[in-house]
Structure 1
Amino acid sequence: MIAIFELVKDPYERKARVIPGLLVSLPLLVPLLCVYGAKHPVLTSVIGLLGGCGAIYALASVARGRGKKLEEKLVARWGGMPTTLALRHREKKILDSISKKRYHDAITLKLGIAMPTAEEEAADPEKADDIYVGATKRLRELTRTNKKLLLKENIAYGFHRNMVAMKVVGILSCLSGLVYGCLIAGVLRVKPPEVDLIHFADPGLAAGLTLLISSALLMAWLFYFDSAAVKRMGIAYAERLFECLPSLPTPRSRKSASKSLEGAGE
């Protein structure tokens, strides 16, 4: 229960990991609760009990695990994380040359990490990427307290990544929801096998909600959530991350502040 409370309490865990897991199960949960919930309160209690006993945590863990696995494949396909791509001299599409030089200079000044020149990067790309990765990690450490736009962009990236990772499961869930919704509405009949499209005109509340939610989520998984969307969110996060550089104190000012504190203590 403590783990579940922490998941719901933390905005990143809740929005980037829990919600993708719940959206996968939504097309199946809606008809179960709408059709059988009122008639069978035990079913509602069991679903609530499953959620309280760890189903929410399990869904979030599955979404996170699949998301990390997908990220490894995407990074290999892209040639690096969006933050690394943005810092490369040879990458011309993400950042303009003026902004790139400004961020390189700010990283050297604020973080004390010497950034490679274009010539040094061309001579040893792996070493240059290692420096870019290290600078990005250090910058993340210094901006963890940023709870505004940077956190929102990080959540958006994690949410899109995990939604794409759950895409196959989500599509199967939506298709199952559509079939079940048609059965509830009477559009499909098993005995005898029959299709009666007239029932789409008045499917009923339970079937209507099931069909609407399943259709909307299916369209989203088919036409929106893909690797390109994940990369767009990653680039947006990289831009917000590097925009935090000017607000960081320089090493000299931090040393001056510490000396002032020591003097005050004396």
Structure 2
Amino acid sequence: MSAEIIDGSAVAKQLLAETAARAKAFTERAGRAPCLATVLVGQDPASMSYVRMKQNRSAKNGIDSRKVELPETTTTDELIAAITGLSDDPQVDGILLQHPVPEQIDERAAFEAIAPRKDVDGVTMHSLAATALDLPSFHSCTPEGIVRLLDSYRVELAGKRAVVIGRSPILGMPVGLLLLGRNATVTYCHSGTVDLADQVRQADVVVAAVGRPELIKGEWIKPGAVVVDAGYNPGNVGDVEQAVAVERASMITPVPGGVGPMTIAVLLAQTVAAAEASLG
């Protein structure tokens, strides 16, 4: 058996087409395009490249970009002031703080300066709590992208056992909450899990989001399980040993081309949704 490949690029392309149509309709109605503001602290090459990519993708889909660049020496208070200004600006619909930030900055405090209605990256405590309580909010983009991928491939989650490897507040934790909201039985695993292989072997759905190359061995995958590899490590290597897992799973996301394209597609979709909500 060879797993069906879950094509994140194709699903993201469809979502972006829908988002572009909504952005056009908003622009015609509001007299301006939806606007995503990106805040970048310092000159990290990877972060700068990522921000440029987001700006290019925004422009292609009818969304304006505003880039706020701050020096490496920026303090927490200075960053909060910049984000607060964007939160108060009626011309800005979504705010993205590019992370990681320099070590002198309290990243959590900076995230909390983002107004919940503009938290299109789903990083605030408000968004996480709303996700847990199944209340209206913007979800963290990668977890939301994962669930949309599973929906696109008609993966039934209710009653299934899902194992999430990873517990970060913007990926592992919220994706588990979203799966729980779909009536899956969710087990969180992490660096302190002593029986990781046994937990994975029991899973109908595996979400690997730990950031360690090929930590999840292919032989651990239960035959017929659905595997979502949300890891991205140097050399285009995921968190799952794909060469072996693909022979055991029923469906699997590739690296690259699986989860990654969905993240920015969801970010832009949620930016347009924030813009639409601003018109009431």
Q: Which has the higher strand share?
A: 2
Report the TM range for the smaller structure's normalisation.
under 0.3
TM-score normalised over the length of structure 1: 0.27
Q: Which has the higher helix share?
A: 1
